[in-house]
Structure 1
Amino acid sequence: MFVIAEITLQHQFFPDCVWRDATLLPDQNTSEAMRRLGLSLVASGNVWRIYGYAPTGRTAFLQYCVSQDACSPFRFWLVQQSTWLLAVTVLPGDWKGVLGFSSQRITADRQMPGAMIMGPAQAQIAPAIATGEICLYPADLLSRQAFTVTLLARATVWEYRLIPRGQRRLQNPQIVDASGQIAFNPASIHSGDDDGQNGWVTRSTSAITLQQVPPQRFALVDIARTQTQSGRSRQQTVMSVLPTPAADRLFTAYCADQQPVSVMYVYV
């Protein structure tokens, strides 16, 4: 038994880009060809492998496949189980429902494994459950066995709405980033016209890439308006850990420039 092809699914949203939340399903023609040729599709985490067997070996087997039908690929539908994941994925502006990946379209000939470049799907009709199409041409598999399909995570502006609920009275709240990489605008009074909850609101000055497990690096501090005798302002940490965008509500608003905004409520 030998590996005909290996496809690694990667998504920047998941830790270490390991994308286990997807399935590959062969289309009808590919299913029939796999039965005829004795091929099997096996998943191991985010790695999918097509196994075959022939006494003559892998190269001779693929040459036989090419001689039988040189123009037809092995086609697999990429099925994403969680519908919300598409909301966190960077998609091309002309995306129409099915992303296309092909062994004929990779980033570099000498790169191993070959990184497939996102483009239009080749099939005219795709099942409703399909997020993407992956085509493997036997002629390409003669020189390359392993491929990667990688999707990037969307970046959003993060907005914190600070809602008073207890006895604490915030004077000058600020969101600080322990890493110093992300800055937030000065907090302003939030009237609650949209959600009926008065408080403060502040947004990040730049977009933040969404992650399934974001690093807990943001904290809420309150800086007193009056200075101490040394001339310094007193700073008190109100919350050392702040919420991050929920998977099912990754962004619920848009900036004036139509950049998505992830809104989170903090009750103090």
Structure 2
Amino acid sequence: MPASSPLSAVLDAAERVGKLNLRTEEIASALPAISADALRQALLRQQRRGRLIRLSRGSDHWLIVPLQHATSGAPPLEAWLDRYLSKTLQVPYYVALLSAAETYGASPYAVMVTQVMVAKRRRPITVGRHEVVFHTRTRIEDMPTRWHETPDGRFKVSTPELTILDLVQREAQLGGMARVREVLRGLWPACTPVGVAQALDALQDIPVAQRLGTLLALDEQAGLMTSVTDWLRHKPLRLVALEGGQASSTAVAYHVDAAFKVRLPVDLKGSNS
């Protein structure tokens, strides 16, 4: 049986102590007798064998793939996402939208990609079978988040209340308001009036707040709706459509929710209708 390579021994030792994320300089310091060129070649060989993944070109961030995750090509997101974004790239982030809803058990759809908010545009990355797509959010560090923790690790995720606002704001990118409403119905129980007020303060988007107020009214979520009403009090409201990209049309009959100044189709029903 051939002896394992020096790099294999380093990777095995790191995996035994649960350290799956390694930087090139860390590996090099553990193998001082190996030249930079020889180490690069050894890393590429381990990558071809599926033992290692480089998370993005130029990042020098390597991810060990334990045998139990060989089929998926990478360990779970919790094992590497936070370390990659906050430590290697040093960018603020949070898992968002349908991916955030899924962490709260509120997505009725299979989420094929992980949606992550960052401050500036980034290209998607593919890590094994995981595809991560990035959306941008201004003032991202002001947004309310929490940790999603599992035995494999943890990552930052939007609070349930910020998640509902993000979903309403970006419904056109997510398949439309009908799809978003299905997700929102699973999220209402996870939200609190205080959390809604905090998320509204952070986002500072009046039209989104108006749309959220109408959706809460349709689903008879009076407690959460009060927070929206209070937040909108004394703010200038203009008439907005329930769906952000919705154009006026004579082919569809609309009525106006006077409380929130939102135009919506007359046949739109609440969840209890």
TM-score of the superposition, structure 1-length normalised? 0.23
Indicate the structure whose relative CO is greater, using CA pairs within 8 Å and at least 6 residues apart: 1
More helix, by proportion? 2
Task: Look at both structures and tell me which one has the larger radius of gyration over its CA atoms.
Answer: 1
Give me the TM-score of the superposition, normalised by structure 2: 0.22
